[in-house]
Structure 1
C-alpha cells in the first residue's frame, strides 16, 4: 500500500526540481507557471505527508495483528486495507497529474500552466482528504493499539521470568541430587518443559504474542512448582524418617496395650452380664491383626523411602496411622468400658442425676417466656423423661444391664442437648 522508495524519490524530484537552463518569460504566462509550480509543490508536500502517515499506521497495524486476533482487530486490518486502496488511487492521480505537465518547458503556454495548476490542486485536495480519513482511522485505533502495546511490553519480562524459573528449578534439583536424593519424578517434569523453552526461544514472531505470553506463564508456574517441591524434598525425607520411627514405637506400644485387653475382658465376663461386653470379645485378636498389618505396611513404607518413592511412602504411612488409630480406640474402649461399668455399678445415682440435670435445663429453657412449651420441644423432652425412668427401673433386677443403662442415659442427654440447640436457633432467628 505504501509507495516504493524509487517512486517517492521520483515524486520529490518532480516536485522540487530546479529551473535548470530554461528561459523564463515575464507576463501572465510566467505568473501562471509560478502558480502551477506552487500547486505542484503543495501536492508533493501533501503526498509526502500522506505517505508518512500511512507508514506510521502500518507499524501500528502490525503491532495490533501481532497480538490481537479479535473481531475488532480483524476489522481494523480490513479497514486499513480499504484505506490503502484509496491512498493508491489518489497517489496514482497525483503522479499522473505530475507526469502530464512539464512546467519547465520554455514554450509552456499560460492555458497549459492553468490546466496543470487545476489538476495538481485537485490531486493535492484528494491527498489531503484521504490523509484526514487516515488520521481519523488512526485515532480510532487507540484502544486496540494500547492493548497491543501493553501485551508487547509484558512479553520480554514474562519470557525472562520463565527462563529464570527454569534455571532456578534446575539449580534446586542439582542441590537435591548433591544431598543424595534422586528426585527422578521432578527431573522428568522439568525435562518435559524443554520443548516449551525451545518455543519461547523461537520467539513471538513464530508463535504469536498471546501464545508466547501464555506459554511463558505456564512455564513459570510449572518450573516454580518443581523448584518448590525440590526445595522441600530434604525436609520431606526427614519428616518421613521421623514418622517411620514414631509409628514403629507406637505399634510396639499398642502391642503391649493390646495384651491388657484379655484380663479386662475376663473381669467383664466375671462381673457383668453378656450385653455389657459381648461387642468387645473380638478386640484382642482384631488388635493383634491390625498391629501385624501396620507393621507390614511400615516395612513397605521403609522400602519405599529407601527407594525414594516419596508419594508411596507417604501413602503407606497414612495407612499405618489409620490402622493404629482404630486399634488404639478399640483397646481403649475395653478399658474404658470396665471403668464406666465399675463406676455405675458402685453408684448409679451420679449418672442419673447428671442426666436429670440435663433434662431439667432443657425443660426450663423450653418454658422460658412461655405459658406452655412448644410441642416440637415438649414432646421429645417428655419422651426422654420416660426413657430415663425406664432405664432407672431396669437397674432393679438381680443382674442389671449396666451398659444398656449407660447407653440410654447418654441418648437422653443427647436428646436434651438437641432440643436446647433447636430452641436457641429458633430464638436467634426470631431476633433477626
Structure 2
C-alpha cells in the first residue's frame, strides 16, 4: 500500500494556482512553472512562436545577462530548463530544497522581466532553424512530424512545435514580445512543486516571487478538436539505408474513461519487450531492430501508432505481420496471463516513476489541467486492475478500423508502394 499523498492547493494574491506535494525521505524538490497553452493555440501565421519565445526567456532579462542566468543555474547543483508542447509550455527545475528561493527568484525574473533583445532574437532564430534542420536529418523524428501533419491536416495539432523554416523567417522580435504580453497572465499560469518541502513555506515564497506578477487577461480562442484523416503517404529519402514506418489510427483523449484499457492494449501490442510486435517481428522473424507501439493523447483527441524500421525488402512483410497482430487483438480475447503481465508492467513503471520528484511535479500539473482533480495512486492502480480481457478487445475494435488507417513511410520507397488492401483491418 502506498503512503497517503500529501498534496495542497493554494491560490496566490494575483490568481496563480500553486499545487505542492510533499515527499518523504528525499532531499530534492522539483518546480514547474506552466503556461496553459501550447503550439496548438498559435496563430497559423506564427507557427512555432511558443517554442521561439520559450528560447528567448533564457537570453537575458532586464536584471541578468544570459551568462549570469547560466551561472545561477549551474550554481544550484541541479538543472533548470524549459519545454514547449502542443498544449503547454513549462519552465522546470530540480535541486536541493535549500535552493528553492534562488530558483524561484530566477523563474520570477525570467517571466517578469524578459529582455527580448533584437540581436539575441536574430541569433536564436538561427539556432532554432538549425534545430529544425536536425529534425529533417533524423528519419524517425521527421516521420513522426509528417505523420502528425497528415493525420491532423489543416489543424494546429498537426503542425510541428518548432514551426518550419518559413515561419521562423517571418517571426519578428515584436511578435515575440506581443506573444509574451498576450499569453502570460496569472489565470493562464500554474505552479507545481513536489519533493522535500514545507507547504506553507513554498506558498509564502511563491507569493513573494510570483504574487505581484500582473498582466491583462486576453480572450482565449476555444480549442476545436481536429478531424482524423486516413491516408497512405510515401516519402522518398534515397540516402537512407532503412525504411521507417508509422502505421496509425485514432486514439483517445487524455481523460477518456477507457484510458486504462487503452494503456494496457498499447503495452500488449508493442509497449514492452514481451509485447506481440516485439516478439513476433524482431525476435521470431528478425527483420527489424526497432518496433514499438505508442499513444499520443491530448485534451480532446489522440492517436495510436506502430513504428518500425526495416529494409526495403522487408517493409511489406513487417506491415503484414503488424496488421495480423492487430487483427488478432480485435478477434481474439487476450490471454489472462498476458493481461496480468501488462498490468504489472504499467504498475511497476508508475510506482517507480513516483519516486522521482520531477515526475510527481509533472503529474500534479497534468491532473489539474486534464482532470481538474487529483486521482490518487491507489485509485489509478484499482482502475488498472479492473480492466478485463473484454475491455481490451472492445478498445481494439473501437480504434483499429480500416476507415481510420493512416500510414506514412520514409526511405528508399520509390519501389515500395503500399495499397490499402495489403493492410486491411476489417
TM-score by length of structure 2 reads: 0.17
Bigger Rg over Cα:
1
TM-score by length of structure 1 reads: 0.17
More strand, by proportion: 2
More helix, by proportion: 1
